[in-house]
A and B are shown apart, each in its own frame.
Chain A
Amino acid sequence: MKSFCVFKKELRLYFGSFIAYALATFFLLLTGYFFYTDMIFYDLFGDFQDITASLWAYYFQDVRFVTMLILPLLTMRLFAEEKKLGTIELLWTYPLKDPQIILGKFFACFLVYVLMVLCTFVYPLLLSSVHSFSWGPPLAGYLGVFLLGATFIACGTLISSLTENQVVSAMSTYGVLVFFWFLNWNEEAVGPQLVGIVVRFSLFDRFEDFSKGVIQTDNVAFFLLATFFFLCLTLQSLESRKWRGT
């Protein structure tokens, strides 16, 4: 497993440069604030009925939003920093294959994300100590959060491999993710033939079912395939050096 050395190196860089700590802090502050406010609403208006529709659905859609804000900042450095520092020259001249490099980086970033998300488990745990509820829906929601995050990270990895500027990398990732979010806003305007296709590509629509506690195989498959698709494009982008120069 040659990817493992890249994986370990990336983790050391994330935790050595405090990016991971800084982003995790904001991630937890924001998700904590949202969980608190969503719970207040649940208390005031939800009447302690149907916790899935009046708490989890709101909470996970807020987490989705925070994920979109945080992940581009986590992925922006993956390749862009190596290009800027010139360390990509080492990676490419070591006996490592491109897929190994990509997978090592992807999983290191994903692990940082998973750790951040796992910290938010505190919120439902705290709630369960004062109010009993069924664990199925929130767990389905968390599965959705992980899958959505994996897709976002793969997308960010691709964009990071296209530039050596981390700011450009982050901004473009925001652009792409916001595009996928907005896809279903004015979807009726794109015409009756296209609407069916466009809606299917909306990452955020796919997530809605998870936030309502529903795990659909097609949604799981969609996120896994989208992740795979972005990683394959990253591989193509890295291989372009063979005909493009640097």
Chain B
Amino acid sequence: MSEPTQAGAQREEIVLNMGPHHPSTHGVLRFVVHTDGEIMRKAVPEVGYLHRGLEKLAETQTYAGYMPFTDRVNYLEAMFAEQAYAMAVEALLATEVPPRAEFLRTIACELNRIANHHVTLGCITMDLGAYTPFVYLLREREGINDLIEALCGNRITHNYLRIGGVSYDVDDKWLGQLESYLNHFEPIIDELVALIVGNEILIKRMEDVAVISREDAVAWGLTGPNLRASGQDWDVRRDIPYGAYPQFEFDVPVGPLGRGQAGDCNQRFLVRVEEMRQSCRILRQCLAKLPEGDIKAKVPKMIKAPKGESYASVEGARGEMGCYLVSDGGKNPYRLKWRTGSFSAMSIIEHTSPGLMIADLVALVATLDVIAPECDR
């Protein structure tokens, strides 16, 4: 973008703090914006306000006792963190998870993905000035929260998964509720598309704005919808299969879709809309194929993982959610590290921001779907 010139105008760099309490900063986070008029020279994210030391805390907990903490990595996609952690411990223990438990994990995760995208898409539109879709989407999210509450008793931080399986089984009544939710929700996606995806004002705010090339996205470690929007055909569920995913058919939406170019804000938005459809498709297949059997493998009460280390990753709603676990043979993890999509997405902002308008920073942050607690951990 070329800088606007005006005869006799004074050029001066102003340093502007955006946040930590700004409505569009997705949690407590601050941008130090170096700006000349409306055009930014750069925006530097300052994070750490929500650093809760979840990695250090792991070193003081038993393996089973750390499970509720994983929910707090990101309150919007708690199931994915649970699954990444469970998979990392199971890899060290060489535990086989029963097929029914794998299906239940998939159901929980895909429901969680849809619920997360409700918030994401709602926040994107709200940050760009449209309040109504956010309220509609939160209403739909309540349906999922109710389902998950009936499943495990918790609405947000679920603590549903266990090492070796899941904590509660489902009955036919619950599966019926899930099916009626899907019957209700799938047409809503079309309604949503009609309401916001085709909205010219919204498209103008996102189309060709803050383009991230495929090369940049790979080099900076973007993952998930942000990476796919930039044109890299990649999905952990399909390409490094885990759990029950090899048994399902689903498409991986990759940019460019619709208007705009690969890697712009509109693509990051559209990829997420399409992902909700694919999640519904996976959930329908789960309903059709759900096997009978145990929901938890036999694991000792006091887990002691053998010396060694493992890295497990799942396709979270914000990209690759990875859990790196080191064991020294004791009762506590020796070291645990979370690799999250928001951390990488936050790190690319300084690189992408030069030349953008200040208002476009909001679009970039919203469509990258960075969320401060997941970044800070």
Binding between chains A and B: no
